[in-house]
């Protein structure tokens, strides 16, 4: 259980176009999803926290108008890179936190489940 | 703000031997979680082991165990009987206890298991 998928796994686009990346929790509900960016040989950098039905919370330095995040359902969050430029080329990873169980907190999330990532190349 | 430090950018170990990866962190929180994640060449993040800060007992998962020293804010990972498949980037991560909190990752340690 607790599988997270991302689509597409790889995408190549031209500079100036927009690209949408989907993150899905396949077998659980994810009230909260996170979007990370990872440069080669570096750690994961949190871009934004996405909560179902509300606006995403962006980390300092991340342009919210460039990286549009939508969390329309408990199983799907999307990241749209608008007007992509070559410097946006990177590896994007999402993760999902399982729904909190107020009656049985021990069964709630105490970790995150990561998607396989999407490699974006902007030409 | 929390910070996580991994002082060993790269390490290598012979197959079947034991290796320890270091991690230190800085926080003013009393309750939190600590994690080790593995990222193989496929780049899929895989949970290796998890430790709740309120538990004194060190977590163990098969060949993987941790040495959690809360006062020293240290959380090292020991891999016993290293296997070639253990070759990967290893990230130490911190998460506050409250639901919905994001991870703070360390810079990672690249581990190579040599045949």
Mean pLDDT of chain B: 92
**Cβ distance of B45 and A31 shorter than 8 Å:** no
Q: Distance between CA B82 and CA B94 in Å, rounded?
A: 25
Can you tell me whether residue B96 is helix, strand or coil?
Answer: strand
Whether A60 contacts chain B with CB within 8 A: no
Q: What are the phi and psi torsion angles at B72 (to 5°)?
A: -85, -5
Set of chain B residues whose Cβ sits within 8 Å of the Cβ of A91: 43
**Cβ distance of B99 and A114 shorter than 8 Å:** no
Q: What are the phi and psi torsion angles at A53 (to 5°)?
A: 80, 5
Please give the residue of chain A at the shortest CA–CA distance from B49.
A111
**Cβ distance of B105 and A100 shorter than 8 Å:** no
Set of chain B residues whose Cβ sits within 8 Å of the Cβ of A112: 95, 103
- Give the helix ranges, DSSP H, for chain B: none
Q: State residue A99's pLDDT score.
A: 58
Q: State residue B43's pLDDT score.
A: 92
Contact B59, B48 (CB under 8 A): no
Instruction: Walk along chain A (123 residues) and give the pLDDT tens digit of each residue.
Output: 678 999 999 999 999 999 999 999 998 888 789 999 999 889 999 999 888 888 898 999 999 999 999 988 889 999 999 999 999 999 999 998 875 554 554 445 456 789 999 999 999
Can you tell me whether residue B56 is helix, strand or coil?
Answer: coil
Q: Which of B37, B44, B99 sits opposite A100 (nearest CB)?
A: B99
Q: Distance between CA A71 and CA A29 in Å, rounded?
A: 12
Which residues in B have their CB inside 8 Å of a CB on A? 33, 35, 37, 42-45, 47, 50, 52, 91, 95, 99-100, 102-103, 105-108, 110
Set of chain B residues whose Cβ sits within 8 Å of the Cβ of A33: none
B59-90 residue pLDDT tens: 999 999 999 999 999 999 999 999 999 999 99
E-only strand ranges, B15-106: 19-21, 24-26, 32-39, 46-52, 60-61, 64-69, 74-79, 88-96, 104-105
């Amino acid at each position: 259980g607790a599988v997270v998928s991302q689509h597409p796994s790889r995408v190549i686009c031209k500079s100036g176009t927009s690209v949408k990346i989907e993150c899905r929790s396949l077998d659980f509900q994810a009230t909260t999803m996170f979007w990370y960016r990872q440069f080669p040989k570096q750690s994961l950098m949190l871009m934004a926290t996405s909560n179902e039905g509300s606006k995403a919370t962006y980390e300092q330095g991340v342009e919210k108008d460039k990286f549009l995040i939508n969390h329309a359902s408990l199983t799907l969050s999307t990241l749209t890179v608008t007007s992509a430029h070559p410097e946006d080329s990177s590896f994007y990873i999402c993760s999902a936190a399982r729904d909190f169980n107020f009656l049985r907190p021990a069964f709630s999330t105490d970790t995150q489940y990561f998607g396989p990532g999407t490699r974006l190349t902007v030409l | 703000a929390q910070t996580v430090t991994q002082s060993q950018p790269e390490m290598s170990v012979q197959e079947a031997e034991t290796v320890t990866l270091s991690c230190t962190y800085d926080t003013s929180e009393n309750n939190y979680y600590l994690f080790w994640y593995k990222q193989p060449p496929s780049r899929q993040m895989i949970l290796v082991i998890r430790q709740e800060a309120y538990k004194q007992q060190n977590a163990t998962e098969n060949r993987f165990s941790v040495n959690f020293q809360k006062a020293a804010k240290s959380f090292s990972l020991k891999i016993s009987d290293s296997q070639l498949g253990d070759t990967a980037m290893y990230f130490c991560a911190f998460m506050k206890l409250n639901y919905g909190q994001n991870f703070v990752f360390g810079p990672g340690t690249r581990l190579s298991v040599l045949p």
